[in-house]
Structure 1
Amino acid sequence: MLTLFLTRLRQQLGRFTSTAERDPHLTHTAQAPVFTADFTSTTQWVAGRSWAYPDGGPTNPGDNKLDYLVEDPSFSRTGTFRAVRRPDGKWNAGLLTTEGSDEGFMVRTGDVLEARVRLPAEVGAWPAIWTWRDGGNEIDVFEYHPDNPHLLELSNHVKGGSRYHEDPAVGPGGWVDLKVEFGTRSVAWWVNGARVFADRRGVGRRWRAYLIVNLSVCAGRYHPAPDADVSEMSYEVAYLRVHRP
């Protein structure tokens, strides 16, 4: 009986090992997340302010943005990130960051982030999920511009490396599933369940950074500004969570 038990145990372990070898990231996401976004939480997130903007905001014209960051919860805390045209030519815009929050959550090397987003349809919209700390440490989980309707921008600004991922399944108003592993030697991106890019640069062993989720508005230098008849735009984040091995 003991021999039979050990044989069956080895078979079970063999099946587990082969599964892990096929998808080495499976063990990461199988664990309970260390962070699950609650955009209504005032301890997880700070609204309408980010030190990725000069002096913490509210504007950032040097980055080709028409944003005027606002704390108004209707612009970000529902999980729908909005931007509304102002009379002065700026746009009231929603942004949330973990930087400066009571919990101060930071992603770090080895973490896996998952998110599901509904892309905006209006030209000039610039949604993003990204990281930031101390003037850098930026990894773009994604950026999107509807004037390039099937293109996601995936970037590692820590050690260099980026990919313009074109996919007919990506489009204005559509839902996209995103996953990023912040690896020591390679940052890897998945889109709708398929691995689409590994930069072979990574973030290093001691990297850590805050999360930012926002909707910016393009000023026209690199991507078209909104049409004159557009007064409001939005994108939605259904969930965002971080797993830690």
Structure 2
Amino acid sequence: MDIPQTPAEPATGSVPPPRPQGPPPPASPVVFAAPFTDRTAWAPGRTSAYPEDGRNRADNKLDRIGPAYAPTPDGTFRARRAGRGDWHTDLVSTEYAPGGFELLAGDELSATCLVHAEPGAWPALWTWGRDHDNGRSQPGHGEVDAFEYHPDHPTMLELTNHVRPAARYADGLVAPGRPFLLTVRFGADSVEWSVDGSLVFSDGAGVGPHWRAWLVVGISVSAGAYGHPAPPPAVDELQWRCSGLTVRRPSAPAPRRA
């Protein structure tokens, strides 16, 4: 059946021209962009998130970190098979470095990452917070996982806020061997993760206004629990790459004038 068409109303005036767009707002200033070879900014093989002997078996990891295990100048993080079931794993943190850089609420972290589908590899970029002055730990130890990756789910990133618990296993974001740009904004009320310029998770929880945390970048080796296989016997080295790591911080608002 034909449906009667309602005639369009006549135009009553001309369409106003589009308003000219001004320049985009300036980017927040960079407050941290040190290469991994800078020993004033990064301490190799040290984080208080690991027990004193540099192992972390309780967290399903075969890692053995130490000052001798640092990434290459181009940001390649390696895990190399050692004796007695250990793997020497590269890790750097700002925690024990002379600069002692800490992220604050509102900061934005970005880095270009490249992962590989090598069984047992466990790349990660994360944060770890200092204790309060009274000795109490921050909620979740100030930990936010900018990403964790397991090759048994080769196109998935694990995005987790441990401060105000929220998480997403975001699939279809990455591909082994293909670089991706990761951006994380540590908002007081919501942590937001973007991949290659597209927002993929806004947790609606945030880190709170007083959060502060060190940066940690490293590679772990899965011991085989939680459905993540350990490396096969023929594999003696695992790796991933992180480059262009930068932290921006919003400028403080200008003081109001009377």
TM range (shorter): 0.7 to 0.9
- Name the amino acid aligned to 1:36: A
Match of 2:243 among 235, 238, 241: 238
Within a 5 Å distance, the mapping from 1:162-241 to structure 2 comes to: 162-167=167-172, 170-222=174-226, 223-241=228-246
Match of 1:35 among 25, 32, 35: 32
Q: Which residue in 1 is equivalent to 2:11?
A: none
- TM-score, structure 1 length as denominator? 0.86
Q: Deviations over 1:161-201 (max 9, x none)?
A: 1111111x512222111000000110000011100000000
Q: Which residue in 1 is equivalent to 2:14?
A: none
Shift of 1:100: 1.3
- Name the amino acid aligned to 2:164: K
CA distance in 2, matches of 1:211, 1:241: 11
Q: Which residue in 2 is equivalent to 1:129?
A: 125
Verify: 1:149 aligned to 2:149, yes or no.
Answer: no
- Name the amino acid aligned to 1:170: V
Q: Which residue in 2 is equivalent to 1:76?
A: 71
Match of 1:88 among 73, 81, 84: 84
Could you tell me which runs of 5 or more consecutive residues in structure 1 were left unpaired when the two chains were aligned: 1-10, 21-26
Rg bigger for which structure?
Answer: 2
Shift of 1:238: 1.6
Within a 5 Å distance, the mapping from 1:39-58 to structure 2 comes to: 39-55=36-52, 57-58=53-54
RMSD over aligned Cα atoms: 1.6
Matched-pair identity in %? 46
Could you tell me which runs of 5 or more consecutive residues in structure 2 were left unpaired when the two chains were aligned: 1-18, 132-136, 251-258
Q: Deviations over 1:147-168 (max 9, x none)?
A: 101100000000011111111x
Shift of 1:37: 2.7
CA distance in 1, matches of 2:34, 2:171: 28
Verify: 1:139 aligned to 2:134, yes or no.
Answer: no
- TM-score, structure 2 length as denominator? 0.82
Shift of 1:58: 1.0
CA distance in 1, matches of 2:29, 2:188: 22
- The size of the alignment, in residue pairs, is 221
Verify: 1:114 aligned to 2:121, yes or no.
Answer: no
Match of 2:99 among 103, 115, 122: 103
CA distance in 2, matches of 1:213, 1:235: 11
Bigger helix share? 1
CA distance in 1, matches of 2:218, 2:117: 15
- Name the amino acid aligned to 2:161: N
CA distance in 1, matches of 2:66, 2:96: 16
